[in-house]
Amino acid sequence: MFYALYLRPSRPDFMQTMSDEERGIMQQHVAYWQKFLNEGVMHVFGPVMDPNGGYGLGIVEVENEQYLVALIDGDPASKINKYEYYPMRAVVKK
């Protein structure tokens, strides 16, 4: 099952105004998902530079929603930002 992950920042200017502590958490966030990218669970992730307020986007492939929720709960960024996720009918390269 594929899911689109949307990481909604705690404020619209989060990317521009992160404190040192928040920046450290976001660096941990990148390292956390990099592991799953290397394993093929995460297919792509990164910040979206929306002029109305940036946010994070990722595409994962997991066996079930429970595993997805566990992944989100393990992400350090989930402590300072909010995740939304949606099932995706992904078309992928074979």
Q: What is the pTM of this model?
A: 0.92
**Domain-located, residue 54:** yes
Show the domain range for 41. Answer: 2-88
**Domain-located, residue 27:** yes
Q: What is the CATH number of the domain that holds 74?
A: 3.30.70.1060
Element (H, E) at 46: strand 42-48
**Domain-located, residue 39:** yes
**Domain-located, residue 75:** yes
How far, in Å, CA of 33 to CA of 42, rounded? 7
Instruction: Reply yes or no on whether the pLDDT at 94 is more than 90.
Output: no
Count how many domains the chain has. 1
Mean pLDDT in the chain? 96
Q: How many CB atoms lie within 10 A of CB 30?
A: 15
Tens digits of per-residue pLDDT, 55-92?
999 999 999 999 999 999 999 999 999 999 999 999 98
**Domain-located, residue 46:** yes
